[in-house]
Structure formats: C-alpha cells, structure tokens
C-alpha cells in the first residue's frame, strides 16, 4: 500500500486537466472545465471519532441458530438472506450496501513512485576480508589466510537453539541478521510467511520490488456455543508512506483476530462481532501513534501508522465479510459453472470517480491515482466507517481474502476465478501459494497476502488454533 497526507477534498484538482483548484472556483482556469458538474460528496456520519469515542454496538444475539442474518441493531426486522451471487449484503447498521464506495472527507494516496529496482548486495570487493587483502597487497604484505570455504570447512556445531545461516547452513546468525561465518544477510521472518489450518490457509510474501513486507494476516478457528465451527481470516495491508506500516498491519490483524475469538464463542452474531473487531483493530493502530516526544522532534511531518483491513468469518451456514480500505474478498464457487463475485467495495479514489460518473471503471482503475484510499485504520483518519456484509451461500465455494498485491493481477471476479485452482476447497494452502505465485509472476510490484477459506466451514475444523 502507499499514501500521501490526506487532502482537504477528493477533487482538489481539475478532473479534466488536473490543474490545482482554488476554493470557490466554478471553472478550471487552465481548461475551462465546468466544476459545477462535479457532484458534492455526501455528508458522512462517522462511526468513531478522532478522540476514540464511539457508540456501543447493539447487544449481542443470544441464540446461535441463525436461519437468516439478523440486523446488528435492535430492530426486529430480519436482514435479507443472500445467495452467493448477490454481493450487495448489509452494512453494520443492517442497511443494504450501496454499489459505490463510501466517500470520506480525506483521501490517502498510497504507493509512492517505486524505483525501477532496488540495489543489490555489495560486490565481493566490499567484504571486510576482501578489503584487508587489497590493503595488504598495497603494503606489499603477505595477506592473512583467507577464511575456510563454508561449504567444505569443518566448523564446530553451534549451540542448541542458535539460528543457522540459510546460505552456508553452518554459521550462526548475529543480532544484526548476518551470518558470523560467511557474512550472508538472512531473510527476515516476514519476507515470506505461510500458515495452514484444517479449515483455512494463508500466505504472505514481500514481493519483488519492496524492501520489506508490510502486510500481515491472522487465521484461526473456534467453536460457537452450539459447537458449530467458525473460521476467521484477517488480512491487513500497511500504508507505505506512513511511519511503521508493518507494525500497523500486524497490530490490526492481531487485534481483530483476538476480538473475534473472544466474541464468537459467547454467542455474539458474527456480523456484530466483525464490526467490533474492526473497531478493536482501529484502536490498536491508533495506539501506535503515541510515540515518544523525541521521535516527533526528529520527524514532525511523519504520518501516523496506518493500514487497511479485510476479514471473513465462515460458519456452516453464514459468510460474514468486513473491511476498511481497498483490500478485497472474492467468492469463488466450487462449481465453476456458477458465477464468482467480488464481496467488497473499495474505499478508493477510483471508486469515487466511478460513483460520481466522472469515469467508467476501466478508466478509473487505469489512472495512477486509482489506489488513493478514502478509508483506512489510523490515528490520522478523519473517521472510521466499518463495512460489514452478511451472505448465505447456496452452494460450496471458497472465499479469497487478499490485499491489492494480488488483485492488481486478477481484478475482476472472473479473472480471480481463473487463477484459483479447481481443488481450492480441498487444498487451501496450495491454492494460496498458487495465487501468490501468480502475483509474483505478474511482476510482484507490491507485497502480496492471501487467505483461502473454504465454505461451508467443516465440522471437524472446530477448535481454537
């Protein structure tokens, strides 16, 4: 993900020629574009304010037998039952989701321009032993005996628990992440992560262009009060131009996962539990902004940590999706004769342009500003608008929960369905690996993270993990 500081409005530049606009302009001074044709953004009602004050969600549903997905509020009107191909769903208040993404008061521009390539490791001449050899030669001295070849040297066995080098498989790794024997830099733990459970699997990779992985995920399973299983998958994407985006995504994914695992066994309806989990994730990211004064003195203009979030809860009968930002969830039926569907709507500049009628979808997502996000988790977000949707699929399938590092290479639901293996419901880890490989083969321009969750949740998948 990538961002810039939030702008006062989403249309501070002319939609026609991108000339900067002044407050009160009715026509563009450069091309004469009629600015009165641009519709005013709707007035937003924040769910949570900047000071962290938020209304308490309605009381939980005591019964666990949900024939339909009830409203999250106290109303007795049941929420509509959705088929797998109906992606409208309901929001946290129980109202039907609009087709257009929510327009917030701020826009965060993600993905600053990346260099064509990152520099490689220093050449052999830059190694300390090579420099000492060159210096000895200049002084007409006999160079010291070169170190033994780590591939053939008879090295002492490192103490138990010592981290071994991935290159020579013999030397131990120091606190700076380098092998004490051959000097090889070790991969970081988050560069590539995989986790497999019986009912869900996830894979995350740094990609080919980023110097670190700023994505994070949490997957787990638990049991509802009646013993039915509930599978949880949370995927978060750090905003690259903010400070500590990797910490933001990790904190958000963990907080959301813990919140769901605490609420679901108590009988809280999964849609309400997802809403509360997003709020918990936002509070966790907000707390990262409380940095020491010395940090602010050295970097007074650094954005607060921020990330996006998308999550899924799968039970034997229900599918709940929650999100903020532009990470997505897709429905892929096992029977590929049935249509796939995208289950989320982006909080993004591109979605705003389409909703305003200024561009069609192809034009908007081809624009370099397409990934400017209008909703995110972080202390500098103007408001938090958790989106949740409930579905009751009428057939087996898998839910693909992913960051834009994947869907950039398979944006339409039909494109995603073509990439997902046919046996994804039986082999979710293999499917997640295939999807990450698809993104890397396509260029790997961003971190890529994906969780694959089969529906319905298998009964044998119950139990906390």
Phi, psi of 396 (to 5 degrees): -70, 155
Q: What is the mean pLDDT of residues 247-272?
A: 98
Tokens representing 241?
Answer: 């131009």
Taking alpha carbons only, the member of 381, 368, 370 closest to residue 307 is 381
85-129 confidence digits (pLDDT tens): 554 555 556 666 554 434 444 666 555 555 555 454 444 444 455
323 within 8 A of 234, measured Cβ to Cβ: no
Name the band, by pLDDT with cuts 50, 70 and 90, for residue 5: very low
Predicted confidence at residue 13, as pLDDT, reads 76
Q: Half-sphere exposure of residue 435, counting CA atoms within 13 Å on the CB side?
A: 38
Q: Cα separation of 285 and 325, whole Å?
A: 14
Predicted confidence at residue 142, as pLDDT, reads 55
Name the band, by pLDDT with cuts 50, 70 and 90, for residue 236: very high
Q: What is the mean pLDDT of the chain?
A: 77
> Lowest-confidence range among 21-30, 34-43, 245-254, 394-403?
34-43
Residue 424 has pLDDT above 70, yes or no: yes
Looking at residue 332, the DSSP 8-state letter turns out to be E
Residue 300 has pLDDT above 70, yes or no: no
Q: How many CB atoms lie within 10 A of CB 12?
A: 13
120-176 confidence digits (pLDDT tens): 444 444 445 555 555 555 555 555 555 555 444 555 555 666 778 877 778 888 877
Q: Is 112 helix (H, G, I), strand (E, B) or coil?
A: coil
Taking alpha carbons only, the member of 241, 246, 144 closest to residue 190 is 246
Residue environment code for 72-90, b if the CB has 16+ CB neighbours within 10 A, otherwise e: beeeeeebeebebbebebb
Q: Cα separation of 300 and 297, whole Å?
A: 6
Name the band, by pLDDT with cuts 50, 70 and 90, for residue 10: very low
**77 or 415: which leads in pLDDT:** 415
Whole-angstrom CA distances from 149 to 133, 159, 256, 283 are 16, 21, 48, 52
Predicted confidence at residue 427, as pLDDT, reads 97
Q: Cα separation of 216 and 198, whole Å?
A: 20
348-396 confidence digits (pLDDT tens): 888 889 888 899 888 888 888 887 889 999 999 888 989 999 999 999 9
Task: State the sign of the Cα–Cα–Cα–Cα dihedral 173, 177, 183, 186.
Answer: positive
Report DSSP letters for 128-147, one per residue. HHHHHHHHHHHTT-PPPPPP
| DSSP E strand boundaries for 111-262 | 192-196, 201-205, 215-223, 229-238
Predicted confidence at residue 307, as pLDDT, reads 97
> Lowest-confidence range among 66-80, 254-268, 273-287?
66-80
Predicted confidence at residue 97, as pLDDT, reads 56
The H-or-E segment that residue 439 falls in is helix 428-441
15 within 8 A of 33, measured Cβ to Cβ: yes
Tokens representing 457?
Answer: 């949740």
pTM over 0.75: no
262 within 8 A of 230, measured Cβ to Cβ: no
The H-or-E segment that residue 417 falls in is helix 413-419
Q: Is 346 helix (H, G, I), strand (E, B) or coil?
A: coil
Name the band, by pLDDT with cuts 50, 70 and 90, for residue 59: very low
Tokens representing 288?
Answer: 């990262």
Name the band, by pLDDT with cuts 50, 70 and 90, for residue 465: very low
Residue 84 has pLDDT above 90, yes or no: no
Name the band, by pLDDT with cuts 50, 70 and 90, for residue 326: very high
Predicted confidence at residue 94, as pLDDT, reads 61
**64 or 164: which leads in pLDDT:** 164
The H-or-E segment that residue 353 falls in is helix 349-355
Residue 48 has pLDDT above 50, yes or no: no
- Per-residue HEC secondary structure of 392-412 comes to CCCCCEEEEEECHHHHCCCCC
Q: Cα separation of 249 and 390, whole Å?
A: 24
Cis bond before residue 456 (omega within 30° of 0): yes
């Amino acid at each position: 993900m990538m961002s810039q500081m939030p702008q006062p409005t989403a249309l501070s530049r002319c939609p026609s020629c991108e000339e900067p606009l002044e407050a009160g302009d009715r026509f563009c001074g450069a091309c004469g574009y009629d600015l009165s044709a641009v519709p005013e953004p709707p007035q937003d009602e924040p769910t949570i304010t900047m000071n962290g004050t938020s209304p308490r969600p309605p009381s939980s549903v005591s019964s666990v037998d949900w024939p339909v997905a009830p409203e999250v509020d106290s109303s007795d009107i049941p929420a509509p039952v959705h088929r797998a191909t109906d992606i409208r769903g309901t929001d946290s208040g129980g109202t039907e989701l609009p087709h257009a993404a929510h327009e917030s008061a701020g826009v965060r521009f993600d993905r600053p321009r990346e260099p064509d390539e990152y520099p490689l490791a220093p050449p052999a001449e830059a190694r300390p032993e090579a420099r000492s050899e060159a210096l000895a030669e200049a002084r007409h001295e006999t160079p010291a005996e070169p170190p033994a070849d780590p591939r053939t040297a008879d090295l002492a066995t490192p103490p138990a628990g010592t981290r071994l080098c991935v290159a020579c498989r013999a030397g131990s790794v120091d606190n700076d992440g380098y092998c004490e024997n051959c000097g090889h830099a070790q991969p970081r733990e988050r560069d590539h992560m995989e986790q497999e459970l019986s009912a869900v699997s996830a894979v995350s990779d740094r990609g080919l262009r980023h110097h670190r992985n700023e994505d994070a995920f949490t997957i787990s399973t638990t049991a509802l009060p009646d013993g039915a299983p509930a599978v949880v998958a949370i995927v978060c994407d750090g905003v690259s131009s903010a400070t500590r985006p990797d910490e933001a995504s990790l904190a958000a994914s963990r907080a959301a996962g813990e919140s769901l695992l605490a609420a679901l066994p108590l009988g809280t309806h999964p849609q309400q539990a997802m809403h509360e989990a997003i709020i918990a994730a936002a509070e966790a990211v907000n707390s990262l902004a409380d940095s020491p004064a010395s940090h602010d003195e050295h970097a007074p203009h650094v954005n607060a940590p921020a990330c996006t979030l998308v999550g899924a809860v799968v039970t034997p009968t229900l599918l709940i999706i929650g999100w903020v930002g532009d990470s997505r969830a897709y429905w892929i039926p096992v029977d590929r004769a049935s249509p796939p569907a995208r289950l989320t709507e982006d909080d993004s500049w591109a979605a705003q342009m389409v909703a305003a009628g200024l561009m069609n979808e192809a034009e908007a997502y081809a624009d370099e500003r397409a990934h400017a996000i209008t909703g995110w988790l972080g202390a500098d977000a103007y408001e938090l608008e958790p989106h949740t949707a409930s579905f009751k699929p009428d057939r087996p399938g898998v839910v693909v929960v992913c960051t834009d590092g994947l869907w950039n290479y398979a944006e339409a639901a039909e494109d995603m369905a073509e990439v997902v293996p046919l046996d994804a419901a039986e082999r979710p880890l293999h499917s997640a690996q295939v999807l990450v490989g698809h993104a890397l083969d396509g260029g790997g321009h961003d971190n890529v993270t994906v969780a694959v969750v089969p529906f319905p949740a298998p009964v044998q998948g119950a139990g906390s993990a």
